[in-house]
Amino acid sequence: MTKHIVRKLQHQPSIFMADNSTLVIGAGELGIAVIRALAASELRSSESTKLKVLLRPSQNPNHRTLLSEFLSLDVAVVYGDVANDSMDVISNLLRGHTTVISCIGFAAGPGIQIKLARAVLAAGVSRYIPWQFGVDYDVIGRGSPQNLFDEQLDVRALLRGQTQTLWKIVSTGMFTSFLFEPAFGVVDLEAAVCRALGSWETAVTVTTPQDIGVLTALIAKETWVSSDIVYTAGDTLTYGTLAAVVEKVLGKEVRKEIWTVENLMEDLESDPRNGMKKYRAVFAMGRGVSWPVEGTYNYRKGILVEGVESWLVGHLNGQ
């Protein structure tokens, strides 16, 4: 699919906070995208905005590269370990910040999302964007094949049950690149195979991490008057349309296979701890994993985002 509604970001009519102290938790693929977008804002100045990132101490050479970039972006580094530090320790690190954005995902392990939410509330943070980047957990409901999703519902219940901290949940769908992740198995570019999860009519919403970073930064900079869920979409497409896009970009026909819900559930039953098989089963069911582009934040604001076809062309060209 092609890019939607083109308009330059600096022309967006948003109301921005005059004084904002923002802490981003984590600097993985999404975290660094959010940090770069916040740091690049034309409306940011050292007098009005303090931007920080919470990182786990590391001796990895990549960590030193990150630190160099943060220095160039005037981003301060706060050290902490959200997985191993107590909630009280984490809460003390968060205290005093106006906005906290969590970019620590499921890789941190079970219990981390609710732990962070509790730490945010205990710290008296004014505004919180939790790691809910992904599907619509309310629609999926409890007891789905991916058990980690239940914790996301616990986070929502906790945030909805209080009024001290305003929150924004940014529902983005799947990362666009994940459709082409070999381990996920939906698109195998090397073998020229496309597989439908559930059926060819099942739909999925995707957004690139770079676009999520820009959109999250814009949302974070707006003045909030209420707590709600904000939807984004680089693309919403069926697996049938995805196969057609892949064929168009590759310039050849691909082999097509269907992984039905029944088949995927049987596969999961034989390997119940396999996280990838859990994801396949959830997305094959088709509930809460897609929404119309026309109702999204980026569409309503007229913000340029990247669709699947554009992403795939860039990926194949090494961009």
Q: Where are the beta strands (DSSP E) in 103-234?
A: 127-129, 166-171, 174-175, 187-188, 193-197, 203-207, 228-231
Mean pLDDT of 128-140: 98
- Would the pLDDT of 60 be above 70? yes
As a whole number of angstroms, the distance between CA 99 and CA 104 comes to: 15
pLDDT classification of 58: cutoffs 50, 70, 90? confident
pLDDT digits (tens, 9 = 90+) for 77-113: 999 999 999 999 999 999 999 999 999 999 888 999 9
What pLDDT sits at residue 61?
83
Question: What's the N-to-C CA distance of the chain in angstroms?
Answer: 18
CATH class of this structure's domain 9-316: alpha beta
Q: Is the pLDDT of residue 20 over 80?
A: no
Of 14-23, 26-35, 184-193, 279-288, give the lowest mean pLDDT range. Answer: 14-23
On average, the pLDDT of the chain sits at 91
Is the model more confident about 318 or about 175?
Answer: 175
Per-residue confidence band for 48, with pLDDT thresholds at 50, 70 and 90: low
- pTM for this predicted structure: 0.91
* Sequence-separated contacts (24+) of 64-72 with Cβ below 8 Å: 66/27, 66/32, 70/35
- Is pLDDT of 208 > 80? yes
pLDDT band at 222 (very low <50, low <70, confident <90, very high): very high
pLDDT digits (tens, 9 = 90+) for 250-299: 999 999 999 999 999 999 999 999 999 999 999 999 999 999 999 999 99
Count of helices and strands (H, E) across the chain: 12, 13
